[in-house]
Amino acid sequence: MKTHSEICVVGNGAIGKVSALALAQADFDVVLLEPVASSQRPREALGENWDNRVYALNHVAQALLSSLKVWSAMDASRIAPVDAMVVHGDAGAVPGHLAFDAYGARVNALAWIVEDGNLNQALDAALRFASNLRIISGTAIRLTTNASHACIEFDNGDVLEASLVVGADGANSWVRSQADIGLDYRSYDQRAVVANFSCEKPHHGAASQWFLGSDGIVALLPLPGERVSLVWSAPEHLADTLLREPNDKLAARLTALPGQALGQLAILPSAAPSAFPLRLISAHSPVAHRVALVGDAAHVVHPLAGQGMNLGFADVDALLAALGKRELVSDCGDARTLGRYARARKEEVLLMKLATDGLQRLFASELAPLRTLRNAGLAVVDRIPFLKRRLMSHAFGRAASITFDERLK
């Protein structure tokens, strides 16, 4: 069987679903290709449990999801606004400290903490009712392109032809590999240990982060109620220990963090800690002939700034903008259109990669002069309003591109 579409989106994560939904709502004929295993695995109801995997979504992400009518479809009682952010340097002769707040940034929230399940349930519901969109599952074995279209072949002999293939299939992207796009890869020799906790004292919407030198980076993110979500970017040996030791020992480690204002922590029921590897991945190009990469397929950065998912949403936003500006005589896989998308994403992705990688390297060092310098740097930035506003604008996405609704007018 041969299937035709203007755009085929490959991937079944949040970025793939948002890509397919946004492109379909922009009146493109879209096919969302998901792996067979994903289509056969039912998603559990959220219930009383809290996802270990959460995202700190910025204003670009919130605006895009709102324009797609997905934000309002999520369970608002499970979304926590981040009203403040406090960064603690490691102990040293000059203690480092940096604080942001929504009031100083003149926004209603710095970001929003959203569970993976909450986001995906809303996306799944939206996809079921989307026009111009077909969802198919199958095992793709080959991607080829020619002057007029891209062709995806399946193991059962079926063929899908599309003017553009969007690779939203994660860090181990099949599309990227098939398009012969090279990549730069480096492991951080760390894993992000994630879990959720109840806290003795209210968090008041504040997210906290600790740079612990050789012990990695700890972030406690606010969840609704007196709950927080942990992301501990820990060296491999420490990650093994954190996953193996009793949950109350992990809670005690967090309770003892310097400047921790939440009191005693206790892990939430049915929320055993889990972990995922941390690495730096940069595709040599986000585009190839009739192919565009978005999200982790194009770039993976260290989670210390919580910007990985936001970069993916910004990719989708930029791809929509590029497609909206294409010439009427060209199709959506036109090389000029894809070049416009690549140029639009180059600077932001590079800056975020350099910032997160540089901070990780800086705070991982145990050299005394560097410890003094980095903590002094935090203190200096905290005292200069202009620098703080620039950091907030970049990290929390206030310099968003035109929203999806505005682009369609």
Distance between CA atoms of 245 and 248, rounded to whole angstroms? 8
pLDDT 10s digits, 104-163? 777 889 999 999 999 999 999 999 999 999 999 999 999 999 999 999 999 999 999 999
Provide the 3-class DSSP secondary structure of residue 73: helix
SS (H, E, C) 324-342: HCCCCCCCCCCHHHHHHHH
Q: What are the tokens at 353?
A: 């990669």
**What's the count of helices (H) and strands (E) in the chain, helices before strands?**
13, 20
Distance between CA atoms of 168 and 12, rounded to whole angstroms? 8
Contact between residue 230 and residue 271 where contact means Cβ atoms under 8 Å apart: no
CA distance to 15, 74, 157, per residue, from 139 (Å): 20, 30, 10
pLDDT 10s digits, 1-48? 899 999 999 999 999 999 999 999 999 999 999 987 655 455 566 667
Contact between residue 320 and residue 407 where contact means Cβ atoms under 8 Å apart: yes
Provide the 3-class DSSP secondary structure of residue 43: coil
Pairing mode, strands 30-34 and 2-10:
parallel
Element (H or E) spanning 319, and its range?
helix 308-324
pLDDT 10s digits, 351-389? 889 888 887 877 776 666 666 666 666 655 555 565 556
Q: What are the tokens at 301?
A: 């950065």
SS (H, E, C) 106-151: CCCCCEEEEEHHHHHHHHHHHHHCCCCEEEEECCEEEEEECCCCEE
Domains of the chain (ranges, CATH numbers): 2-185+278-408 (3.50.50.60)
Which residues are registered as beta bridge partners of 7?
Answer: 30, 164
Pairing mode, strands 30-34 and 183-199:
unpaired
Contact between residue 164 and residue 289 where contact means Cβ atoms under 8 Å apart: no
Average pLDDT over residues 196-219: 93
Provide the 3-class DSSP secondary structure of residue 130: coil
Indicate the average pLDDT of the chain: 88
Q: Nearest to residue 290, comparing CAs of 407, 136, 130, 181?
A: 181
Average pLDDT over residues 255-271: 90
Question: Is the pTM value of this prediction over 0.85?
Answer: yes
What is the identity of the amino acid at 80? A
Contact between residue 24 and residue 130 where contact means Cβ atoms under 8 Å apart: yes
Phi-psi region of 11 (alpha: psi -120 to 50; beta: other; left: phi over 0): left
pLDDT in the model for residue 6 = 96
Q: Provide the CA 39 distance to its chain's centre, in angstroms.
A: 22
